[in-house]
Amino acid sequence: MAYDADAITVLKGLEPVRERPGMYIGSTGPSGLHHLVYEVVDNSVDEALAGQCSRIEVTILPDGACRVRDNGRGIPVGMHRDYPDKSALEVVMTVLHAGGKFGGEGYKISGGLHGVGVSVVNALSRRLEVEVCREGGRFALTFVDGGKPVGEIRRIGDSSTTGTMVTFWPDGSILEETDFRAQTLVERLREMAFLTRGLEIVFRDERPSEPVEHVFCFEGGISDFVRHLNASKEALHSLIVSFREEVGEGEVDIAMQWNTGYYEGIHSFANNIATTEGGMHEEGFKKALTNVLNKYARAKGLLKEKEDNLLGEDIREGLTAILSVKLRNPQFEGQTKAKLGNTEMRSIVEKATNERLAQWFEEHPVDGKIIVSKAGQAARARIAARAAREATRRKSLLESAGMPGKLADCSSRNPELSELFIVEGDSAGGSAKKARNPEFQAILPIRGKILNVERARPDKMLKNEEIQALITAIGAGIGADFDLSKARYHKIICMSDADVDGSHIRTLLLTFFYRQMPELVKAGYVYAAQPPLFRVDLGKDTHYLKDEGALERFMGEHSNRKIDPQRFKGLGEMDWEELGATTMNQATRTLLQISVSDAAIADDVFSVLMGEDVDARRTFIQHNAKDARFIDI
């Protein structure tokens, strides 16, 4: 085949989005589907950041479409100077990188990482309708089949208000999922409301199965966010530390509160975008936090002259903090554009924190003493944990090849090809060893339910035999010592029974990975196996069905037929050939990749699921039980 000038294809308009949707929305699965909603809502939030919008309504309509309405200024509807035959509204909806956020004065501060926004939503919808109220009129434009306009913009009436309403029907020919999950949207919209003080966000689900309405409006802003995240924890002090500084055309907004737990939860944002990889603003905050607390402890005699300074990790143990900055031209770095690179923000945040936090400690000496005492306990636990880690390393060196005795390792030494199955119980472990491909699949059996690390300090955790085996087998360390490049497997698969106990074991393992090896989860190395719950024999054919829902659908499809399903009580009940064919064979298995799309929401979920608050846990399970297929955080 000739490779010449004619072989070069130019994708026009919105074609690139339909050709490579993952580049624009991350995936064509559930996370990509919900990302479409966030793209539309982000436009409305930007209107609120510009002081032009006070209310956003997000509605899932009975037919499964999503509608987003705001009372902002309304997208301009006049003819565009660069496209004389098109309205500005049509340009915004059909041209990538078109909008009011690229150098003009329409928005001084705006979110959106890539500037593709609502045009991508249009590209990935089978139908999209937009209505704009402005300049005394109501204007409408409809698109079908991935962004093709149906006629031209038309005035459909008069209006005394302003605003934009976008209704879209996701395109099932491109997206794997078109069924919105209410709870996913509720969690994200609540977060957006926390980050935009005083903005009212209304969510409605009008689908007949479960009509619901939530109204979010937080006059306390991120202070209310901290209060929400700490609701399932025991606060160390009642008052929330909060301060806000105007900086040129932007601002620094910080709120924090310590709790009695053992993990830090610092969640940073720039222009309402979650900076999960941190950045300059987070560096400045952490440096100032360590500096202020050590100075205060020395000045008040809470830290003796001969004692070493407290480390940042000691001070941040049990800290929940929200750091939100607004700036004119944010620069995002990192593979996922989740790290703020503006160097000036480091000194701005550091200066504000140094001054305002020092003042808070002076004004609240009782709380200050409690916080310093907590950090001192963390320092002592850190020293004990280091000794425990050293003991684990020494023990590993004495054992054969430095690996746990019960690990059946694979022969491959290429981490990218290697898989580690963590299997509960000796019976299932034995079957898994027979079913595996020993070239690249390793098996680590564990006994029962591992320690709940949400309620244990690192020094206690490191004495647990099962956790020691996990740490040694993976080989990348834990906590501050974790090094992703040393991970011995790039697929770590939690394989537990498809019942309540199995779900609990899987959640304990995920809690351990999220709290002690978060980089492993962020890199996409952690998976949950999907063993079937049922086997159905129809004639000579055998069918394996994942859960009750799959069985119901199967029975509906074969309602002239007599069906006698066999329910597996556990992995140990399967013979090794069945386990291999359904759960381990790369060609026939299904794996659920565990992702952390939003760290603050994940932090909240793990605290509720694995913390001390029984009522909060019961409520969470009741709300989410029917959505078990979405249990990846």
Residue 581 DSSP one-character state: I
- 96 close to 17: Cβ distance less than 8 angstroms: yes
Sheet containing strand 541-545, edge to edge, reads 541-545, 534-538, 566-567
| Catalytic pick among 90, 367, 497, 598 | 497
Place of tokens 């090094």: 483
- 150 close to 142: Cβ distance less than 8 angstroms: yes
Which is nearest to 518 in space by CA: 602, 608, 624, 623? 602
Q: What would the two tokens of residue 268 be?
A: 């940073």
Which is nearest to 571 in space by CA: 365, 465, 431? 431
According to DSSP, the β-strands at 534-538 and 566-567 are antiparallel
The b-or-e profile of 30-62 (16+ CB within 10 A means b, else e) is: bbbbbbbbbbbbbbbbbbbbbebbebbbbbbee
SS3 535: strand
| Catalytic pick among 15, 206, 313, 499 | 499
| Catalytic pick among 205, 282, 367, 424 | 424
- 463 close to 389: Cβ distance less than 8 angstroms: no
| Catalytic pick among 307, 363, 501, 548 | 501
Which is nearest to 440 in space by CA: 469, 471, 409, 484? 409
Burial class (CB in 10 A: 0-12, 13-18, 19+), 261: buried
Rg value, the chain, Cα:
27
Q: Is 499 a catalytic residue?
A: yes
Q: Is 598 a catalytic residue?
A: no
Place of tokens 């704009």: 132
Q: Is 501 a catalytic residue?
A: yes
Hey, how many other C-beta atoms are within 10 angstroms of the C-beta on 249? 11
Cα–Cα distance measured from residue 190 to residue 253, given in angstroms and rounded to the nearest whole number: 18
Which is nearest to 269 in space by CA: 340, 341, 197, 189? 340
Which is nearest to 90 in space by CA: 24, 142, 20? 142
Residue 468, CA distances (Å) to 410, 444, 476, 508, 515 in order: 19, 12, 12, 15, 15
**Catalytic residue list:** 424, 497, 499, 501
